[in-house]
């Protein structure tokens, strides 16, 4: 299958709005909104290609800044690598190919119809790059204090998980944890228990085995209707495709490295991660032995970021 390397830019105005361009009639994906850019030509660097494309399509002089994310994406006719960079520029963008332009306030980005590869890009712009999964508590007060420290360090999305804990103790602890997270403005998802998630008014994180259970679509429908996030733990392409079919908001894929908690399972590694990621348009976190320092390599392989228990629980703690 044909492999194309495309570079695109995140171009912002002084108010922080992001520039989108609408693909013109007669091309693939016509009518969809995209980040301006185009194909890297043979022998050309990604940076040079992006400067050239933005000059040709918008009439601006661009300086290529930090990488945002590189999204591998499988389309029916080709394999795309969408390489997205932040841009600084001089000049006033104009639709020189006759394409419509829109300056989108960030929170409106998800409302524009876009190609499949752009969903992970929008998530990379808007959503947290670290997803904390809690370890099972030994002492409840110490666990709540550790959670509060993680929030203070800037964790913005938390999965509450404590397999095997006594149900009454856990629902008490969940209520306390949710109060802490709400106070910090942090998104919270509950592992596995749709009914409890519904009662406390938070999102749900599906275990991989739950993804394929009969009736799971009906079980999560009320949460989705209430606007709650649904995450999913995935180990292979079948899990990812099912998470996408169910309308999950994001997935977690791993184990990336071999971990202390799953010593038997060999890690899949970054190349396999990218090869599975390209089959869905979901934002996907990598999990398994990762720490905050791995966010850069994760983004380079199309990940939203990292998910971790130990790697995000103890400041500077050892990898899971
Ligand atoms: N520029 C851009 N292309 C994207 C995005 N998302 C995405 O799937 N693509 C795909 O990446 C490819 C980019 O090709 P393009 O048509 O813009 O290439 P180009 O500017 O060099 O123009 P041309 O080859 O039509 O002359 C298309 O298949 C397009 O659908 C995006 O956000 N920005
Ligand atoms: Mg283009």
Nearest atom within ligand 1 for CA of residue 7: 1
Considering 94, 118, 142, which residue would you say is the last residue of a domain? 118
The answer on 283 and 202 residing in a single domain is: yes
The answer on 67 and 192 residing in a single domain is: no
Rounded Cα distance between 278 and 195, Å, is 32
Report the b/e string of 189-213 with b at 16+ CB within 10 A: bbbbbbebbbebebbbbbebebbee
The answer on 220 and 177 residing in a single domain is: yes
Residue 78 CB–ligand 1 contact under 6 Å: no
Which residue's CA lies nearest to atom 4 of ligand 1? Answer: 34
Between vectors from CA 169 to CA 163 and to CA 171, what angle results, nearest 5°?
80
- Structural domain contains residue 317: no
Residue 83 CB–ligand 1 contact under 6 Å: no
Are 282 and 120 within 8 A, CB to CB? yes
Residue 149 pLDDT class (50, 70, 90 cuts)? very high
Residue 261 pLDDT class (50, 70, 90 cuts)? low
How many domains does the chain contain in total?
A: 2
Confidence (pLDDT) at 317: 44
Q: What are 314's two structure tokens?
A: 């103890």
In a 13 Å sphere around the CA of 209, the CA atoms on its Cβ side amount to 3
The answer on 294 and 210 residing in a single domain is: yes
Residue 76 pLDDT class (50, 70, 90 cuts)? very high
Expressed in angstroms and rounded, the spacing between residue 47 Cα and the centre of ligand 1 is: 16
- Structural domain contains residue 103: yes
- What's the CATH code of the domain at 49? 3.90.79.10
Expressed in angstroms and rounded, the spacing between residue 21 Cα and the centre of ligand 1 is: 11
Ligand 2 (single-atom ion) residues, CB below 5 Å? 38
Rounded Cα distance between 183 and 16, Å, is 26
DSSP per position, 224-283: HHTT--EEEEESSHHHHHHHHHTT-SEEEE---S--SSSTTSPP-HHHHHHHHHTT--S-
The answer on 110 and 160 residing in a single domain is: no
- What's the CATH code of the domain at 267? 3.20.20.70
17: Cβ contacts below 8 Å, ≥ 6 apart = 103, 104, 105, 106
- Structural domain contains residue 101: yes
The answer on 113 and 186 residing in a single domain is: no
pTM equals: 0.95
The stretch 86-102 carries a mean pLDDT of: 97
- Structural domain contains residue 38: yes
- Structural domain contains residue 320: no
The answer on 284 and 140 residing in a single domain is: yes
Considering 88, 118, 148, which residue would you say is the last residue of a domain? 118
3-state SS of 173-195 is: HHHHHHHHHHHCCCEEEEECCHH
- Evaluate if residue 315 carries a pLDDT over 90: no
- Structural domain contains residue 31: yes
49 vs 263, more confident: 49
5: Cβ contacts below 8 Å, ≥ 6 apart = 39, 40, 46, 81, 83
Residue 109 CB–ligand 1 contact under 6 Å: no
- Evaluate if residue 318 carries a pLDDT over 60: no
Which residue's CA lies nearest to atom 14 of ligand 1? Answer: 38
Which of the listed residues 23, 30, 36, 37 should we mutate to test ligand 1's pocket, taking the one with most ligand atoms within 8 A of CB? 37
The answer on 190 and 94 residing in a single domain is: no
- Evaluate if residue 66 carries a pLDDT over 60: yes
- Structural domain contains residue 76: yes
The answer on 46 and 112 residing in a single domain is: yes
Expressed in angstroms and rounded, the spacing between residue 23 Cα and the centre of ligand 2 is: 8
Domain with 185 in it = 130-312
Report ipTM (2 d.p.): 0.95
- Structural domain contains residue 255: yes
The answer on 185 and 101 residing in a single domain is: no
pLDDT tens profile 152-210 = 999 999 999 999 999 999 999 999 999 999 999 999 999 999 999 999 999 999 999 99
| Mean pLDDT rounded to a whole number for the chain | 95
The answer on 64 and 139 residing in a single domain is: no
Expressed in angstroms and rounded, the spacing between residue 38 Cα and the centre of ligand 2 is: 4
The answer on 50 and 13 residing in a single domain is: yes
Confidence (pLDDT) at 80: 98
Nearest atom within ligand 1 for CA of residue 28: 30
């Amino acid at each position: 299958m044909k492999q194309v390397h495309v570079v695109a830019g995140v171009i912002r105005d002084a108010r922080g709005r992001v520039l989108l361009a609408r693909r013109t009639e007669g091309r693939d994906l016509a009518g969809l909104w995209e980040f301006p850019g185009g194909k890297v030509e043979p022998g050309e660097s990604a940076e040079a290609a992006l400067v050239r494309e933005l000059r040709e399509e918008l009439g601006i002089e661009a300086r290529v800044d930090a990488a945002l994310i590189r999204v591998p994406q499988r389309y029916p006719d080709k394999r795309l690598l969408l390489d997205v960079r932040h841009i600084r520029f001089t000049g006033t963008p104009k639709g020189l190919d006759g394409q419509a332009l829109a300056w989108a306030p960030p929170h409106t980005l998800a409302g524009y119809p876009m190609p499949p590869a752009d969903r992970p890009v929008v998530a990379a712009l808007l959503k947290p790059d670290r997803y904390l999964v809690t370890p099972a508590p030994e002492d409840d007060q110490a666990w709540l204090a550790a959670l509060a420290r993680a929030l203070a360090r800037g964790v913005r999305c938390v999965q509450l998980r404590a397999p095997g804990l006594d149900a009454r103790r856990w629902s008490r602890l969940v209520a306390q944890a949710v109060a802490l997270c709400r106070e910090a403005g942090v998104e919270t998802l509950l592992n596995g228990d749709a009914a409890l998630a519904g009662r406390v008014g938070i999102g749900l994180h599906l275990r991989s085995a739950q993804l394929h259970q009969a009736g799971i679509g009906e079980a999560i429908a009320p949460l989705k209707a209430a606007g709650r996030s649904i995450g999913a733990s995935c180990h292979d392409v079948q899990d990812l495709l099912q998470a996408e079919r169910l309308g999950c908001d994001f997935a977690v894929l791993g184990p990336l490295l071999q971990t202390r908690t799953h010593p038997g399972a060999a890690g899949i590694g970054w190349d396999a991660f990218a090869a599975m990621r390209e089959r869905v348009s979901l934002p996907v976190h990598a999990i398994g032995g990762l720490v905050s320092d791995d966010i850069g390599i994760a983004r380079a392989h199309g990940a939203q970021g990292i998910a971790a228990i130990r790697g995000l629980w103890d400041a500077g703690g050892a990898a899971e």
